[in-house]
Amino acid sequence: MSGRPSRHLTIVKLEGERKQAVETGRNRLLVAGAVFASGFLMIAIRLVDVALVKSGDEPNLARERASEQIRTGRADIVDRNGVLLATTLATASLYANPKTVPDAKRAARRLVKVLPDLNQANVLAKLTSKRRFVWLKRHLTPEQQYEVNRLGVPGFDFQREERRVYPLGRLAAHILGHTDIDNRGLAGIERYFDEDLRARPTPLVLSVDVRIQNIVTHELRRARREYRAAAAAAIVLDARNGEIVAMASLPDFDPNRPADIIDAARFDRNALGVYEMGSTLKIFTTAMALETGAVKLTGGYDATRPIRVSPYWIRDHGAKRRWLSVPEIFIYSSNIGSARMAMAVGGKRQRAFMGRFGLLSRPSIQLAEVGAPLTPTKWRDINTMTIGFGHGIAVSPVQLVGGVAAVVNGGVFFPPSLIVKPKDAPIIGTRVVSTATSDKMRRLMRLAVQRGTGRRAAATGYMVGGKTGTAEKITARRYSRKALLSSFVGAFPIQAPRYVVFAMLDEPRGTRRTRGYATGGMVAAPIVSNIVSRIGPALGIPTVDEEARKLKRRMAVRVMTMRNGVRRIASE
């Protein structure tokens, strides 16, 4: 290995076989060298690729690990302000392998001691069965789990499970619905969005505001107790986009205990129940007559005598027995006048008009169980007349509120919704009446609260406008004077409506305070008044001076009347 090269070059020449062998050796060496070289070259290229080209910076292994989130089997549901309405919590469920429980009798006795709601005989039967797996109790509290662990019974074990929890209890129960023990949605939003809730990583945001929901439920509960009503319902809806801010139905239930729900409580009066609403539908009749030009605000109809449409009579309660102008028909809630108004428009146009407000088809609200309206199969004159004052057609409160919102908000219909629309998405509505008609209707609804049947709905500073409704319910195939459905639907502030408020009592009974009356104006209008005076400040609606001259002028209506057989202006 050392020393200089020799001066004497010795040239060795190989011939024949030997030369061949050396050549072969050299070739082999060359091939092997080339293979190894290309191999090392590939490794080198790959190294450069991995180390410098592909991920030049630090590997983000740490970040990936840290981004692990707890995932539950079902997404949370929150209200519009992010208050938790429904969530999924991990719980432990107790099971046993009867083969490995040494002393079943003793185990059963000791288990029942710490879990008193279990039946000892039942547990014993399970523990002596031939199976290898029996559920003893699902969804234990941490305390119960600790107690069972302390027993130290071999063969008992826990399965980690998830349980749907509704922290607000009964509040908004009909909207949320509930799930079964395996967290499958059975009703309400839980059912409608069942698939979505299983898949989505983020909470589902509802349009409901729990503060408003609480006020509405509280006022409704109070009124239901006072008037001993069989059931009650109320809705607050944003008039500008159809979002439902609060929706309560009584009796209600606790979604945390789905097994205890009775059918009367499960029934959602707002979306599933359809009712002959009565006079609140006169809002649509009047809007229709004004929109089609069948009558002007200064015009009117004769309401001297009841109309006979065999075998029925259409009468007025507290009849004036004279010609009534349109504002008078509206504020005194005249059935005769409204029936004539509807006839002046005609059945065909009435049907088309009602359809535009979504009153003739099942509403598209995001709930599992939604009631379809009951409409006449054949739209005869008698139907036109009765529908004119709200009978012969049954709609759900959600439909009514959606329609009224369109009447007062300038004439644009938005389907009632329980989901907040994304901020950047355009709010799409359909124009159903002109802004001029909407303006006239707002004035009439204000007048009904100022001077008509809806006086008790007034809330100082908030300019309530609306319409009362008192319908006789059908009991034993005929209308009953005793069983009433009393309601009020209004909007505030009526000069530029922000919210539509609806309240309804099913079979209320009059009290001494209402002098025995249980009509919409007596029992339902005060609920709306209470709700508005409490949610107004919560929603940040500025109060106005209701007596201000400017405002009065803006909401003024020329009311014609008839005195001594002469039509004259009663007030402006």
H runs (alpha helix) in 261-380:
263-266, 282-292, 326-331, 335-345, 347-356
Residues 6+ apart with CB under 8 A from 28: none
Instruction: Measure the CA–CA gap between 404 and 286, rounded to whole angstroms.
Output: 12
Please give the C-alpha separations between residue 58 and each of 50, 51, 52, 54, 62, in angstroms, as whole numbers.
12, 10, 10, 11, 10
CA of residue 46 relative to chain centroid, distance: 58
When the beta carbons of 15 and 143 are compared against another protein, the nearer one is 143
Residue type, 273: G
> Reduced to 3 states, what is the DSSP secondary structure of residue 510?
coil
Q: Based on the number of CB atoms within 10 Å of its own CB, is 255 exposed (0-12), middle (13-18) or buried (19 or more)?
A: buried
| Active-site residue set | 279
When the beta carbons of 278 and 536 are compared against another protein, the nearer one is 536
φ and ψ at residue 107, rounded to 5 degrees: -60, -45
CA of residue 493 relative to chain centroid, distance: 23
Q: Which pair of tokens denotes residue 108? A: 């059963």
Q: Based on the number of CB atoms within 10 Å of its own CB, is 520 exposed (0-12), middle (13-18) or buried (19 or more)?
A: buried
Can you name the residues that pair with 185 across neighbouring β-strands? 179
Nearest alpha carbon to residue 271 among 401, 415, 370, 375:
370
Nearest alpha carbon to residue 241 among 398, 417, 408:
417
Residue type, 50: V
Instruction: Measure the CA–CA gap between 111 and 93, rounded to whole angstroms.
Output: 14
Instruction: Measure the CA–CA gap between 167 and 141, rounded to whole angstroms.
Output: 15
Instruction: Measure the CA–CA gap between 109 and 114, rounded to whole angstroms.
Output: 9
Instruction: Measure the CA–CA gap between 322 and 563, rounded to whole angstroms.
Output: 9
> What's the CA angle centered on 217, arms 251 and 273, to 5 degrees?
45
Q: Which pair of tokens denotes residue 69? A: 């989130």
Which DSSP letter does residue 99 get? G
When the beta carbons of 84 and 496 are compared against another protein, the nearer one is 84
Nearest alpha carbon to residue 451 among 287, 328, 560:
328
When the beta carbons of 168 and 290 are compared against another protein, the nearer one is 168
CA of residue 98 relative to chain centroid, distance: 46
Q: Based on the number of CB atoms within 10 Å of its own CB, is 5 exposed (0-12), middle (13-18) or buried (19 or more)?
A: exposed
Instruction: Measure the CA–CA gap between 551 and 544, rounded to whole angstroms.
Output: 9
When the beta carbons of 328 and 546 are compared against another protein, the nearer one is 546
Cα dihedral: 389, 392, 393, 396 (round 10): 80
Q: Which long-range contacts (CB under 8 A, 24 or more apart) does 549-552 make?
A: 551/463, 551/495
Contact residues toward another protein (CB under 8 A) are: 62, 65-66, 68-70, 72, 83-85, 87, 89-90, 165, 167-169, 171, 210-211, 213-215, 217-218, 459-462, 533-534, 536-537, 542-545, 548
Beta-carbon count within 10 A of 521 CB: 25
Q: Report whether 436 contacts 458 (CB < 8 A).
A: no
Q: Report whether 315 contacts 337 (CB < 8 A).
A: no
